[in-house]
Amino acid sequence: MRNCLQKLFEERVQQFVTTARKQKEYYPKAEMKLESMAKRSAEIIKVKAAGNIVEESVENEFQTMKYQVHFQYLIKQKGLFYMEEEVEERIAKFNKGMLVMDEEVNPMAIQDVQTEKPISSVEEKPERISYQYNRLKAVQYAERWWNSYNPAYKRFENDCTNFISQCLHIGGAPMRGYPKRGTGWWLQSNNWSYSWAIANSLRTYLPNSKLGLRAREVSSPDQLHLGDVICYDFEGDGRFNHNTIVTGKDANGFPLVNAHTYNSRQRYWAYEDSSAYTPNIKYKFYTIVDE
């Protein structure tokens, strides 16, 4: 099966390169990514893929494999070259060495394990908490840990918001509100506020906070700066289920972002190539405010 998987990687890589799009096997992700690139006058120059097997099982004549694949895309856009990376988890099934099924595990199928409650609008301290947000440190942290997990922090199955909170905290944003989970923004040992770890709660907290970490909503992604946050409601139902941090800009001045679940680096902000994307998607753009 490992040889079959390697062959599959080689075929997939070719489908991302513009000059080699016509392949017998249809790979939707490649098509979506190339379409997204074309919209912003960008092209993929080179792709590398490396994988590792997470689980294997055999039943009768079928072999099932859960694996992770790490893609690296060298992208050219109006004279700018940059590297985008992402890791996705997939399940493949083989019958007598022949591939019969290969599907991405939808990252949005992983739900927050804790029950969210409304974020309190009552501020527990009247004084203002002053700090200077260090955008460079936040971005450096996002670059260092985009595809791994800092043992100094708790790791969540759905880790996207926890990762963004870590970046903001390393950038200097002060925790507050402990031990009330529906108040403030904090992580203490094995306990945390909803706003620290749940996507929709952080989206609610950022523009409503009056102390410490707070943010101002802007109308367009090109108004964001490095270290700012984008929130995603993939279904457009009002409940936001993903967050990213701005770590770069493309040649048009639009954000490139890092994230967990799935782990991504320098990804174009719109997520049009994601399996979670729907035509109903809604975004919120937040620029961090400090004193």
**18 vs 68, higher pLDDT:** 68
The count of C-alpha atoms lying within 13 angstroms of the C-alpha of 188, restricted to the half-sphere facing its C-beta, is 12
In a domain, 126, yes or no: no
Q: Inform me whether the pLDDT recorded for 208 exceeds 50.
A: yes
Condensed to tens digits (0 to 9), the pLDDT of residues 220-254 reads 999 999 999 999 999 999 999 999 999 999 999 99
Residue 4 pLDDT: 74
Residue 121 pLDDT: 46
Please tell me whether residues 151 and 282 are part of one structural domain.
Answer: yes
Q: Give the structural domain span for 22.
A: 2-105
- Where does the pLDDT of residue 10 fall: very low under 50, low under 70, confident under 90, or very high at 90 and above? confident
Residue 128 pLDDT: 61
pTM of the model: 0.91
Please tell me whether residues 141 and 254 are part of one structural domain.
Answer: yes
Spatial separation of the C-alpha atoms in residues 198 and 126, rounded to whole Å: 26
Please tell me whether residues 144 and 285 are part of one structural domain.
Answer: yes
Please tell me whether residues 100 and 202 are part of one structural domain.
Answer: no
Q: Inform me whether the pLDDT recorded for 168 exceeds 60.
A: yes
In a domain, 225, yes or no: yes
- Total domains in the fold of the chain: 2
User: Which CATH number fits the domain that encloses residue 21?
Assistant: 3.10.450
Please tell me whether residues 96 and 151 are part of one structural domain.
Answer: no
Q: Is 28 left (phi over 0), alpha (psi -120 to 50) or beta?
A: alpha
Residue 106 pLDDT: 76
Q: Inform me whether the pLDDT recorded for 211 exceeds 50.
A: yes
Spatial separation of the C-alpha atoms in residues 191 and 154, rounded to whole Å: 9
Please tell me whether residues 252 and 160 are part of one structural domain.
Answer: yes
Please tell me whether residues 164 and 272 are part of one structural domain.
Answer: yes
State the average pLDDT over residues 21-25: 52
Please tell me whether residues 63 and 176 are part of one structural domain.
Answer: no
The count of C-alpha atoms lying within 13 angstroms of the C-alpha of 132, restricted to the half-sphere facing its C-beta, is 3
Please tell me whether residues 39 and 98 are part of one structural domain.
Answer: yes
- Where does the pLDDT of residue 126 fall: very low under 50, low under 70, confident under 90, or very high at 90 and above? very low
User: Which CATH number fits the domain that encloses residue 148?
Assistant: 3.90.1720
Please tell me whether residues 273 and 147 are part of one structural domain.
Answer: yes
Q: Inform me whether the pLDDT recorded for 26 exceeds 70.
A: no
